[in-house]
């Protein structure tokens, strides 16, 4: 089975830095994804990690430690438009001929002025 944990909700101030954690226990591991979802809209892809370390993409960075089953998404210079839900998804082992990602429950981030 697969178990993915994220905090339910976080709040932060505009201009600050916030770190959203994701821990996972899966049978097999073949990559971890982060998606952003604004209320009532479709999720959009943010980042993908398969090797240990930090991947930086503008204001957003994602970190992975496979030995600890741990990832975080780091958002810098927060803007009001960053208020959204952030979904962690893990691609586990081969199942039915495919590597289907399993999603966590998402972290709702509220950015206030």
Residue with tokens 């289907």: 100
Q: According to CB under 8 A, which residues from 71 to 100 bind other proteins?
A: 87, 89, 91, 96-100
- Scanning 15-23, 30-38, 66-74, 76-84 for contacts with other proteins by CB under 8 A, the matching segment is 30-38
23 in contact with other proteins (CB under 8 A): no
34 in contact with other proteins (CB under 8 A): no
Q: With beta carbons less than 8 A apart as the criterion, state whether 106 and 40 touch.
A: no
Which position among 7, 21, 23, 31 is part of the footprint of other proteins (CB under 8 A)? 31
Q: Which residues pair with 4 in a beta bridge?
A: 24
Q: With beta carbons less than 8 A apart as the criterion, state whether 22 and 104 touch.
A: yes
33 in contact with other proteins (CB under 8 A): yes
Closest distance between other proteins and the C-beta of residue 109, in Å?
Answer: 15
Q: Which residues pair with 94 in a beta bridge?
A: none
41 in contact with other proteins (CB under 8 A): yes
Q: What share of the chain is helix, strand, coil (3-state, %, to 5)?
A: 5, 55, 40
Q: Which residues contact 101 (CB under 8 A, 6 or more apart)?
A: 33, 89, 90, 91
Q: Which residues bind other proteins (CB under 8 A)?
A: 8, 30-31, 33, 35, 40-45, 48, 50, 87, 89, 91, 96-106
């Amino acid at each position: 089975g697969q178990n993915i944990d994220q905090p339910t909700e976080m709040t932060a101030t505009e201009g600050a830095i916030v770190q959203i954690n994701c821990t996972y226990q899966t049978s097999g591991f073949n990559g971890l994804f982060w998606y952003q979802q604004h209320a009532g809209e479709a999720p959009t892809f943010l980042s993908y990690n398969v090797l240990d370390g930090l991947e930086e993409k503008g204001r957003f960075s994602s970190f992975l430690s496979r030995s600890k089953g741990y990832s975080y998404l780091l958002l810098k210079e927060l803007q009001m438009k960053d208020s959204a839900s952030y979904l962690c998804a893990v691609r586990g082992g081969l199942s039915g001929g495919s590597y289907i990602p399993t999603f966590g429950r998402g972290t709702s981030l509220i950015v206030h002025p």
